Structure 1
């Protein structure tokens, strides 16, 4: 049994990343809809828990395109190697068909997690702040 006590509202980094939670408090959702939702992927403008604005500056999400490209390349290389090992096919049309299908199926995943990876790991000065993750139960209203 561990004697380490986690602070109120603590969420581990990989859990917050996998569930697309705010990188600063890991409590508020980054996206308003699911990954494979028919309504599209809508992002919240700011965190509902700590108030962090997700778009740090104009054009901030352009960097996510490079992250998405890197994810796409990694997925394609992995799929091509796996396809070669499993089928041993020399036909380029098998590879083109399967890889285009994989690109189509994984594009919502890549869109979402390229932005999450950008927020979690590639944004300087944006770190987890445990004091912001605490529940707001004890706060009194000024109004």
Structure 2
């Protein structure tokens, strides 16, 4: 993962600050602590980047969560139906289960993708 540092993929997958890649944007690292899944720090402790650019900034992440969810469901369908040759009903049940279980990850990935659309990595950042 260190090889990807400096790329948007690194920030998206790890949940690190999109500007400096040194600190997690989230208060809690584990997305499965459901009360803390979407709790983000106000600013990066390293480069002082403000994560919420404007009020309701992350509403845009809803538009990203749909294709991310489709990717999760598509991979589940391919594995269940085409690789393991399950019937359609068990395949759909598995798809629903995977979508429910992966919801916290999908929510965070969507936020990470959304913020990385608007911010760029800077090799050197200075503290104010």
TM-score grouping bracket, smaller chain normalisation: 0.7 to 0.9
TM-score between both structures, scaled by the size of structure 2: 0.82
Contact 2:6–2:123 (8 Å) recurs in 1: no
- Give the equivalent residue in structure 1 for 2:46: 49
Gaps of 5+ in 1: 1-10
Q: Distance in 1 between matches of 2:82 and 2:55?
A: 44
| Residues 90 and 17 (structure 1), Cα distance of their counterparts in 2 relative to 1, 3 Å cut | closer
Q: Give the root-mean-square deviation of aligned CA atoms.
A: 2.1
Tell me how far 1:62 sits from its aligned partner.
1.2
Q: Shift of residue 115 of structure 1?
A: 0.7
Structure 2 gaps, min length 5: none
Q: Number of aligned residue pairs: give it.
A: 121
- Identify the match of residue 95 of structure 2 among 90, 99, 123: 99
TM-score by length of structure 1 reads 0.74
CA distance in structure 2 between the aligned counterparts of 1:60 and 1:28, rounded to whole angstroms: 20
Q: Which entry has the higher C-alpha Rg, 1 or 2?
A: 1
Displacement after TM superposition at 1:47 (Å): 1.0
Q: Compare the two structures and name the one with the higher helix fraction.
A: 2
